[in-house]
Amino acid sequence: MIAPARIAAYETLLAVAQGRSDLPSALARTRAVLDDERDRALAGEIATGAIRWQGAADHIVTAFSGRGASKLDPEIVAILRISIFQLLHLDRVPASAVVDDAVDLARRAGKRSASGFVNALLRRVSREKTRLPLPSTPPLDLLSITLSHPRWLAARWIARHGAEAAERWANFNNTPAPLILRANRLVTTADALARALSAEGVTVEPARLAADALVVTGGNPLLTPLAGTGAFVIQDEASQLVGMYASAQPGERILDACASPGGKTTLMAAAMQDIGVLVAADVRGKRLALLRRTVAASGARSIRLVQADARASAPYRAQFDAVLLDAPCSGLGTIRRDPDVRWRRTEADLPGLAAAQREMLDELATRVRPGGRLIYSTCSGEPDENEDVVGAFLAAHAEFVRVTPAAFAARSDLAALLDADGTLRTLPFRDSLEAFYAVNLVRQR
């Protein structure tokens, strides 16, 4: 009998590889049929890890078989990827169980003729796991093969940050990310939330920088009665820092132009003490539905929802004190949390994304009142989507200038994340945070 977690992990990988789903959606479907929480956790660990280490696994398969992944059936590739990940990275899983289940999975997938190949290759990986053909030099081979990142992205990082920093970034991405909560100030405080979670058997500790962030160190807060009460939102710490950088104040009129899933929206509503008006917009119906649920759970009454395209004329005429454009981007700064992003994105995606980002900035600039601010942010570390977009915008809009948010700069630990011109930049190899970027542009006239 094949372990249910391995079946779920295999089906997840196959759905992602065939382009039928992204990783979170595929995992949600395959884990929904598992009754045991331990199976659900293991399925997630195997599927996520296999995608994370896919580049190295494929290199081993090619070296041992003489055939690349593109020459094999996708079902066999998925089976080999999940099995090699388990053999190399999960010490608690017996190798014999991994290999036996892989052979049975091949038969179950209708690939009985490949079962001998699967068996022989995985047994060789198990025997030679301490001397696998994975390069330690030069840096580009190390990052792209051994550390399992796309070659084009590794080359960019090495050229921009140097080989050592690029290697630290890749290692950061290959480490499972902690679960981070944000205490909703409209409902509770970080200290009170920590105590309430402790009473339910969940242990947390304060995050380093974001004031309301708690890092989960034990237990699952989503399985407690606190889930769904609005007491907390799951939100990455770097994302919380961007929300803080927006510096929302009570009584302001703010537009969050690409608001779903709503983490930064509800953070700003809490910073406003729910006093003022916060228009939260998103273009896609499904994303708006997700945003609606997040806002409802937060208890915020100051938020108004609108379905709108940030690139088109807005269905509102008001000029705002602040407009946040958390722009749709490559997501290449969040590879640790979304490992399939590294394989879904290509360098050719960047020009199109940058063009859309510039278009949104041009349109939203008209919504900012004189003296108001336009905050542009991405979860990407690539200059194409950051410095280049903002530079082109400022060249065409002399009425806007960069201004450092005073409250953010006043904290020495946060000021360390600011460039000389006041741009917020988090870097995995420097800050142990996902790569986010934000700039504050004030309209002078």
Rounded to whole angstroms, what are the CA distances from 286 to 245, 259, 396? 28, 12, 34
DSSP character for 221?
G
Give phi and psi for 440, each to the nearest 5: -110, 115
- Contact assessment for residue 47 and residue 24, using Cβ atoms and an 8 Å cutoff: no
CA distance 35 to 183: 30
- Phi then psi for residue 179, to 5 deg, are -80, 125
User: Which residue out of 69, 254, 379, 417 is catalytically annotated?
Assistant: 379
Region for 108 from its dihedrals, namely left if φ exceeds 0, alpha if ψ lies in -120 to 50, beta otherwise: alpha
d(CA 438, CA 426): 9
Helix (H) or strand (E) holding 317: none
CA distance 268 to 235: 13
CA distance 320 to 325: 13
Long-range CB contacts (< 8 A, 24+ apart) of 211-215? Answer: 211/244, 212/182, 212/183, 212/184, 212/185, 212/240, 212/267, 212/270, 213/180, 213/181, 213/182, 213/237, 213/240, 214/180, 214/181, 214/182, 214/183, 214/190, 215/178, 215/179, 215/180
DSSP annotation of 112: G
Using DSSP's 3-state secondary structure scheme, residue 174 falls into coil
Two tokens at 171? 């290692």
Is residue 379 among the annotated active site residues? yes
**At 172, which amino acid appears?**
F
Which residues are known catalytic residues? Answer: 379
